[in-house]
């Protein structure tokens, strides 16, 4: 193997590809988290949080895990994910195959990682609707909602009631019900 082949092999190694995916995921999570913090009026905290994260991890990327450690009373544990091929989840899947579609399976995995008895929200881009983030969550907040949401029960027994809606709509409810400690 010549030097060029070795360089290409290193470039496309499994570890390099995984590191690249992690960098993209981290950048996306930070972008969405900053948007959430701006919406909540926490813009003055962004730079300080980035500096604290950099001291701890060596990287200035904000994560929701760190945000949640600073604001443990935030009402929903958020998982912010880039979901490849989410555009293949069509309207039919949201009604007929709801519990087995890519969105719900990713939300379910995020639920497994969240603290016990805390509602979980999965934030993702819905490809095809430029610049719009959606959230799939099980936060049962009783407020009048004038915007469109999809609501479905999944699971057996008590199961879960899960909503999918625009992140903007969701954040309006957070603003009305939550204050930083």
Distances (CA, A) of 28 to 24, 32, 43, 125: 6, 6, 18, 10
The pLDDT value given to residue 67: 92
Chain mean pLDDT for the chain: 81
Is the pTM of the predicted complex or chain greater than 0.85?
Answer: no
What 3-state class would DSSP assign to 128? coil
Distances (CA, A) of 69 to 18, 64, 122: 26, 8, 18
Please give the structure tokens belonging to residue 147.
Answer: 């915007």
CA-to-CA distance for 160 and 147, rounded, in angstroms?
21
Mean pLDDT of 26-52: 91
Mean pLDDT of 117-136: 82
Which residue, chain included where needed, has tokens 């016990």? 116
Calculate what percentage of the chain has a pLDDT beyond 90.
21
Mean pLDDT of 21-48: 88
The pLDDT value given to residue 145: 63
Q: Structural domain boundaries of the chain?
A: 1-71, 73-181
Q: How sure is the predictor about 166, in pLDDT bands with cuts at 50, 70 and 90?
A: confident
Asked whether the predicted pLDDT for residue 91 surpasses 80, the reply is no
Which residue, chain included where needed, has tokens 């929200």? 121
The pLDDT value given to residue 144: 62
Asked whether the predicted pLDDT for residue 158 surpasses 60, the reply is no
Residues linked to residue 161 through DSSP beta bridges, in sequence order? 153
């Amino acid at each position: 193997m010549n030097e060029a082949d070795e360089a290409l092999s290193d470039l496309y190694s499994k570890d390099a590809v995984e590191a690249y995916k992690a960098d993209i995921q981290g950048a996306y999570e930070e972008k969405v988290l900053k948007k959430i913090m701006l919406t909540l009026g926490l813009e003055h905290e962004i730079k300080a949080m980035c500096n604290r994260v950099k001291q701890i991890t060596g990287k200035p990327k904000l994560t929701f895990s760190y945000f949640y450690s600073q604001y443990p009373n935030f009402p929903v544990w958020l998982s912010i994910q880039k979901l490849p091929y989410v555009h293949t989840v069509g309207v039919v899947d949201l009604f007929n195959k709801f519990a087995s579609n890519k969105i719900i399976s990713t939300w379910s995995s995020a639920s497994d990682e969240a603290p016990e008895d805390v509602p979980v929200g999965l934030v993702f881009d819905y490809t095809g609707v430029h610049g719009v983030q959606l959230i799939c969550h099980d936060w049962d907040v009783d407020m009048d909602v004038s915007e469109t949401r999809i609501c479905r029960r999944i699971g057996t027994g008590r199961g879960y009631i899960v909503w999918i809606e625009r992140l903007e709509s969701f954040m309006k409810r957070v603003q009305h019900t939550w204050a930083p400690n």
